[in-house]
């Protein structure tokens, strides 16, 4: 079975997201080991993400990202140990 270009793009994007999460988790663990509270780590991670998004894509893209994150939070996507029904 051949993989379409769109399917390959989705696979690559998924692998990039997984690699990015691994980098973020490693940085988070390093900060926590240094005694930095999770709220400070979260604030720094979000601020960095927004600053980079604005620098690369503009304020509208950052606002879209924030709105998308809000929707995902409300849907429970980031809630640990959530049950999907």
Sign of CA dihedral 48, 40, 60, 17: positive
Report whether 67 contacts 61 (CB < 8 A).
Answer: no
Indicate yes or no: pTM above 0.85: no
Report whether 46 contacts 28 (CB < 8 A).
Answer: no
Question: Three-state DSSP class for 10?
Answer: helix
pLDDT in tens, 14-59: 999 999 999 999 999 999 999 999 999 999 999 999 999 999 999 9
Report whether 31 contacts 45 (CB < 8 A).
Answer: no
What are the extents of the domains in the chain? 1-35, 37-85
Please tell me the predicted confidence (pLDDT) of residue 52. Answer: 97
């Amino acid at each position: 079975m051949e993989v379409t270009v769109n399917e390959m793009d989705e696979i690559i994007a998924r692998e990039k997201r997984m690699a990015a999460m691994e980098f973020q988790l490693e940085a988070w663990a390093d900060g926590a080991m240094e005694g930095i509270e999770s709220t400070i780590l979260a604030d720094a991670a979000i601020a960095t993400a927004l600053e980079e998004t604005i620098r690369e894509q503009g304020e509208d893209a950052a606002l879209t990202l924030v709105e998308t994150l809000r929707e995902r939070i409300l849907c429970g996507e980031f809630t640990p140990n959530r049950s999907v029904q």
